[in-house]
Amino acid sequence: MAFRPARYFPILEWGREYRRDTLVNDLIAAVIVTIMLIPQSLAYAMLAGLPPQIGLYASILPLIAYAIFGTSRTLAVGPVAILSLMTAAAAGKIAPQGTEAYIQAALILAVLSGAMLLVLGLLKAGFLANFLSHPVVSGFITASGIIIAASQLKHIFGIDAGGHNLFEIIVSLVRNLGSMNLATVIIGLASLIFLFGSRRFLKPALIRARLSEKAATIIARTGPVIAVIASILAVALLQLDEAGVRILGDVPRNLPELGLPAFNREIWLQLMGSAALISLIGFVESVSVAQTLAAKKRQRVDPNQELIGLGVASLSAGVSSGYPVTGGLARSAVNFDAGAETPAAGAFTAVGIALATLFLTPYLFFLPQAVLAATIIVAVLSLVDLKAIRQVWSYSKSDFSAMAATILVTLFAGVELGVTTGVALSLFLHLYNTSRPHFALVGQVPGTHHFRNVNRHRVVISDTALTIRIDESLYFANARFLEDTVYCVVSNRPDLKHLVLMCSAVNRIDASGLESLEAINERLRDANVDLHLSEVKGPVMDRLKRSHFLEELSGNVYLNTYDAMEDLDLDCVQAAFSKDAKTTSPDAIPCPSLALAGFERA
Amino acid sequence: MAFRPARYFPILEWGREYRRDTLVNDLIAAVIVTIMLIPQSLAYAMLAGLPPQIGLYASILPLIAYAIFGTSRTLAVGPVAILSLMTAAAAGKIAPQGTEAYIQAALILAVLSGAMLLVLGLLKAGFLANFLSHPVVSGFITASGIIIAASQLKHIFGIDAGGHNLFEIIVSLVRNLGSMNLATVIIGLASLIFLFGSRRFLKPALIRARLSEKAATIIARTGPVIAVIASILAVALLQLDEAGVRILGDVPRNLPELGLPAFNREIWLQLMGSAALISLIGFVESVSVAQTLAAKKRQRVDPNQELIGLGVASLSAGVSSGYPVTGGLARSAVNFDAGAETPAAGAFTAVGIALATLFLTPYLFFLPQAVLAATIIVAVLSLVDLKAIRQVWSYSKSDFSAMAATILVTLFAGVELGVTTGVALSLFLHLYNTSRPHFALVGQVPGTHHFRNVNRHRVVISDTALTIRIDESLYFANARFLEDTVYCVVSNRPDLKHLVLMCSAVNRIDASGLESLEAINERLRDANVDLHLSEVKGPVMDRLKRSHFLEELSGNVYLNTYDAMEDLDLDCVQAAFSKDAKTTSPDAIPCPSLALAGFERA
Residue B6 CB: number of other CB atoms within 10 A? 12
Helix, strand, coil percentages, rounded to 5, for chain B: 65, 5, 30
Which tens digit of pLDDT belongs to each residue from A3-41?
566 667 777 777 777 878 888 888 888 888 888 888 889
Residue B11 to chain A, least CA–CA distance (Å): 19
Q: What percent of chain B has pLDDT over 70?
A: 97
Which tens digit of pLDDT belongs to each residue from B88-118?
999 999 999 989 999 999 999 999 999 999 9
Backbone angles phi, psi at B452, to 5 degrees: -130, 160
Backbone angles phi, psi at B470, to 5 degrees: -100, 115
Nearest Cβ partner for B600 among A437, A472, A542 = A542
Q: For residue B396, which residues of chain A lie inside 8 Å, CB to CB?
A: 510-511, 543
CA distance linking residue B577 with residue A93, whole number of Å: 70
**Cα-based distances in Å from A329 to A221, A224, A510, B514:** 13, 16, 41, 21
How many Å is the Cα radius of gyration of chain A? Answer: 31
Angle at B475 between CA B471 and CA B481, to 5 degrees: 65
Is A542 in contact with B392 (Cβ distance < 8 A)? no
Q: Give the model's pLDDT for residue B599.
A: 39
Q: Give the model's pLDDT for residue B174.
A: 92
Test the A interface: residue of B72, B130, B140, B516 with most A CBs within 10 Å: B130
Which tens digit of pLDDT belongs to each residue from B357-397?
999 889 989 999 999 899 889 888 888 889 889 989 999 99
Residue B60 contacts residue B355 (beta carbons within 8 Å): no
Residue A55 contacts residue A42 (beta carbons within 8 Å): yes
Residue B272 contacts residue B33 (beta carbons within 8 Å): no
Q: Which chain B residue has its CA at the smallest distance from A596's CA? A: B539
Q: For residue A72, which residues of chain B lie inside 8 Å, CB to CB?
A: none
Is B298 in contact with A427 (Cβ distance < 8 A)? no
Angle at A110 between CA A106 and CA A111, to 5 degrees: 120
Is A476 in contact with B431 (Cβ distance < 8 A)? no
Residue A129 CB: number of other CB atoms within 10 A? 25
Residue A484 to chain B, least CA–CA distance (Å): 8
Residue A95 CB: number of other CB atoms within 10 A? 15
Test the A interface: residue of B1, B390, B507, B525 with most A CBs within 10 Å: B507
Is B507 in contact with A471 (Cβ distance < 8 A)? yes
Read off the pLDDT of each residue in A242-249 and give the average, rounded to a whole number: 88
Closest CA to A531 of A571, A486, A498: A498
Residue, of B333 and A149, whose pLDDT is higher: A149
Residue A139 to chain B, least CA–CA distance (Å): 12
Q: For residue B294, which residues of chain A lie inside 8 Å, CB to CB?
A: 487
Nearest Cβ partner for B131 among A394, A431, A547 = A431
Nearest Cβ partner for B543 among A136, A395, A527 = A395
DSSP class per residue in A77-141: EE--HHHHHHHHHHHTTTS-TTSHHHHHHHHHHHHHHHHHHHHHHHTT-GGGGGGS-HHHHHHHH
Helices (H), ranges, A297-396 = 303-318, 329-337, 344-359, 369-381, 386-395
- pTM for the structure as a whole: 0.79
Residue A16 to chain B, least CA–CA distance (Å): 20
What crossing angle do the helices spanning B134-157 and B265-296 adopt, rounded to 10°?
110
Read off the pLDDT of each residue in B573-600 and give the average, rounded to a whole number: 72
Q: For residue B542, which residues of chain A lie inside 8 Å, CB to CB?
A: 600
Residue B92 to chain A, least CA–CA distance (Å): 31
CA distance linking residue A319 with residue A323, whole number of Å: 9
CA dihedral B64, B68, B72, B76 (to 10 degrees): 0
Residue A537 contacts residue A503 (beta carbons within 8 Å): yes
Q: Is A92 exposed, middle or buried (0-12, 13-18, 19+ CB in 10 A)?
A: middle
Is A392 in contact with B478 (Cβ distance < 8 A)? no
DSSP state of B577: T
Read off the pLDDT of each residue in B131-149 and give the average, rounded to a whole number: 89
Closest CA to A477 of A439, A510, A517: A510
3-class secondary-structure state, position A424: helix
Closest CA to B239 of B278, B183, B190: B183
Amino acid at B355: L
DSSP state of B19: -
Nearest Cβ partner for A487 among B295, B400, B542 = B295
Q: How far apart are the first and last CA of chain B?
A: 46
Closest CA to A44 of A148, A141, A140, A158: A148
Q: Give the model's pLDDT for residue A17.
A: 75
Beta strands in B370-456 (DSSP E): 439-444, 451-453
- What was the ipTM of the complex prediction? 0.76
Helices (H), ranges, A222-264 = 223-238
CA distance linking residue B470 with residue B489, whole number of Å: 14
**CA A294: distance to chain centroid?**
18
**CA A160: distance to chain centroid?**
33
CA distance linking residue B489 with residue B593, whole number of Å: 10
Residue, of B590 and B366, whose pLDDT is higher: B366
Q: Give the model's pLDDT for residue B602.
A: 30
Is B294 in contact with A399 (Cβ distance < 8 A)? no
Test the A interface: residue of B403, B439, B509, B512 with most A CBs within 10 Å: B512
